[in-house]
Amino acid sequence: MNLPDLPLVAILRGLDPKDAATVGHVLFDAGWRLLEVPLNRPGALAAIRILVDMAPLDAIVGGGTMLSVADVDAVAQAGGRLFVAPNCNPAAIAHARAAGMLCAPGVATPTEAFAALDAGAHALKLFPAESIGPAGLKALTSVLPAGTPLWPVGGVTPEQIPAWKAAGATGAGIGGQLFAPGVAPDALAARAAAFALAWRT
């Protein structure tokens, strides 16, 4: 599956459906094309539906904290095409892959990484990135298949992106450093632009 030119995932935890269109417009206008709404907050599926309906053709919208096959089915029914999880559940990964989703499960060890790839993962979410660190990511690249997309998630800031890229990161997931419920649209736009600039430079 082709990844967007800006390989940053906006993690929209706690997105209220009534704010979804505004948040979506800000992020899409800033060039973001990977949006996930974690399922462990109320209204997630409704927010996913709204984002899917307004997304540009090259955008991929879906769910986060997808822990089960049932979660995959629920997001698919909402139109989502992105599977993100904090863990490595081979059954859920394989089900999402079969449903045509871009699959980015969470891993923290080589054992989890290879299990995720064997199940059909397209990219690996390195979580929690704060504890793995760029050194841990670099070590993983020495044993994983060349070209495996690696996305650190957890506490990533624009200032840290050069170090992550130097270690081999091919993207990143951005949560609270980008979005929190109630964030003003202009603040969200500024944050989105700062992350995009950091990645592209």
Secondary structure (3-state) at 44: helix
- Check 36, 130, 159, 165 and give the catalytic one: 36
In the three-class reduction of DSSP (H, G, I as helix; E, B as strand; rest coil), residue 90 is classed as helix
Active site residue: 125, 138, 159, 165, which one? 125
Q: Which residues touch 62 (CB under 8 Å, ≥6 apart)?
A: 35, 36, 37, 48, 75, 80, 81, 82, 83, 84, 101, 102
105 contacts: CB under 8 Å, gap ≥ 6: 83, 84, 85, 87, 88, 89, 92, 93, 116, 119, 121, 124, 125
Active site residue 165: no
Question: Which of 73, 94, 98, 105 is closest to 9 using CA atoms?
Answer: 105
- Cβ neighbors of 190 (< 8 A, separation 6 or more) are none
Closest CA to 86 of 153, 9, 15, 131: 153
Block residue for tokens 């760029």: 134
Write the single-letter amino acid at 93: I
Locus of tokens 């990143």: 172
- Just list the catalytic residues: 36, 125
